[in-house]
Structure 1
Amino acid sequence: MHQGFGPVPPDAPAPPPGPGAVPPFAAPPSEGRGMRMWLGIGVAALAVVLFCGGGGAALVGLLVSGAEALNEQARTVVGEYLDAVDDEEFSKAYHLLCDAAQQQESPAEFQRRVSAEPEIASFQVGDVSLTSELSVPVDVTYASGGQDNLRALLDQDSAGGLKVCDIS
């Protein structure tokens, strides 16, 4: 007999198990947990590749643009120097020389030396060579009709610009 609550109907559910009862499963369900973990690892790996790859691409872009800027600056200074010599603006050409070249000869000595050299009709300045010294190739055509391949040695001045040290 039941204690004070009356008879139990025959179709009533069984009471829940009490303390110490065995649960219906040994561990919480893990459906999809492995897939979510691998998906998270894949997303993290993709983010690392994108960020590192983007940084590498930016570094390559920076190096390429820096090299192009250096080439442009070298072409400009060598072109200005040769144009000044061609126009017999020796003072302007002398100021485009690096400090070491200016210390080796005075403006008057520079003018005598350069005015005795063959006249250049046209020139083409190549790309900067970054070996032991900063230089650019210069293909020249002389007014007399001959051609030559020269090399312009460059140096950086105190302001960060390039100056011509020698063309030979």
Structure 2
Amino acid sequence: MPPGPQPSVPGPPPGPGVAPPFAAPPTEGRNARLWVGLGVGALAAVLCCGGGAAAVVGLVVTGTQAVGEQARAVTGDYYQALSAKQYDKAYALLCDDVRGRESRSQFERRVAAEPEITSYRVGEPELTNEVTVPVQVTFAGGGTDEQQVELTQDRQTGTLEVCGIS
């Protein structure tokens, strides 16, 4: 190796009597920062969990309202078809079980023989294990009847269908 400048060697560390940058670790504000951090974390947890719970409640309420609206619409469509003597439309709104027990021509003969519906009023659906809708029906002869329409959900389409009237 050729002789040349040697790298400089650092000097010895400061000796006794030199003051350290801190006499002790800083403690000022440590507890306050801890509690603020815990509070912010708790607030975030409440917002996340509370927001999720609020979203679930919102979905349930919205879903219930949607089922109720669909129940009223299907029931109204069924009675509209019956009162207009459009039996093919009314038959199409029946559930698979009813259509399996009664052919379209049998259905048409049966409802054509019943008293003619002149008006009807669809009530508020009852959404329990089963969906039922009360309907106040007025017949051509002046008689009235309170009927309960039972609805079920079609497994393929998800729409509600008329499955019985009592």
State the TM-score, normalizing by the size of structure 2. 0.79
The reply to whether residue 131 of structure 1 matches residue 133 of structure 2 is no
Partner of 1:112: 109
Deviation of 1:117 (Å): 2.3
Residue 148 of structure 2, aligned match among 135, 148, 151: 151
SS in 2 for 1:121: strand
Deviation of 1:64 (Å): 1.0
Residue 97 of structure 1, aligned match among 94, 99, 102: 94
| CA deviation profile, 1:64-102 (whole Å, cap 9, x unmatched) | 111111111111111111111111111111111111001
Partner of 2:56: 59
The percentage of aligned residue pairs carrying the same residue is 54
Q: Which moved more, 1:30-39 or 1:50-59?
A: 50-59
Q: Which runs of 5+ in 2 are unaligned?
A: 1-14
Distance in structure 2 (CA, Å) of the matches to 1:144 and 1:48: 65
Partner of 1:161: 159
Aligned-residue RMSD, C-alpha? 2.3
Q: Is the 8 A contact 2:83 2:117 kept in 1?
A: yes
Q: Which moved more, 1:41-50 or 1:142-151?
A: 142-151
| CA deviation profile, 1:132-168 (whole Å, cap 9, x unmatched) | 4232222223333333321111122221111111122
The reply to whether residue 75 of structure 1 matches residue 72 of structure 2 is yes
Deviation of 1:130 (Å): 3.4
Distance in structure 1 (CA, Å) of the matches to 2:113 and 2:67: 31
Q: How does 1:33-44 map to 2 (within 5 A)?
A: 33-44=30-41
Deviation of 1:60 (Å): 1.0
Deviation of 1:46 (Å): 0.8
